[in-house]
Amino acid sequence: MGRVLNIVDRAVDSEEELKVLAGKDERGYFLDYFRRDSDRDGYTFRHGRVRDNGTVESLENYEGQWGRPYFPDDPAKTEAENRRIDAHNDRVWDILRAKGFVK
């Protein structure tokens, strides 16, 4: 626990990267994971937790991975939403960095 492991599957040719971190809280043991997948459209990310009873939880994740909202009749709303997404993604990056998933 407390150490990030980078899982590598050498049996397949993949751009996927999976990092895991074991931990324990008041509900028991868990395994946090961060998955980065390079696809033809860029990167996609998934951050989650698997509990010792098999329950899977979604954790903080990047927003805007598949596009950003655009309000053609309201440029101020578009800009505000993009600022909100940027601020959210900065917080997610801080969380992932604290866990050792990103540098």
Name all contacts of 66-75 with Cβ < 8 Å and 24+ positions apart: none
* The predicted structure's pLDDT at residue 80: 97
How far from chain centre, in Å, is Cα 8? Answer: 18
- Contacts of residue 94, defined as CB under 8 A and 6 or more positions apart, other chains included, come to none
Query: How far is Cα 76 from Cα 25, in angstroms, rounded to an integer?
Result: 42
Mean pLDDT of the chain: 89
**pTM (two decimals):** 0.82
Nearest CA to 21 out of 83, 95, 89 is that of 95
Nearest CA to 7 out of 96, 103, 101, 93 is that of 101
Q: How confident is the model at residue 36 (pLDDT cuts 50, 70, 90)?
A: confident
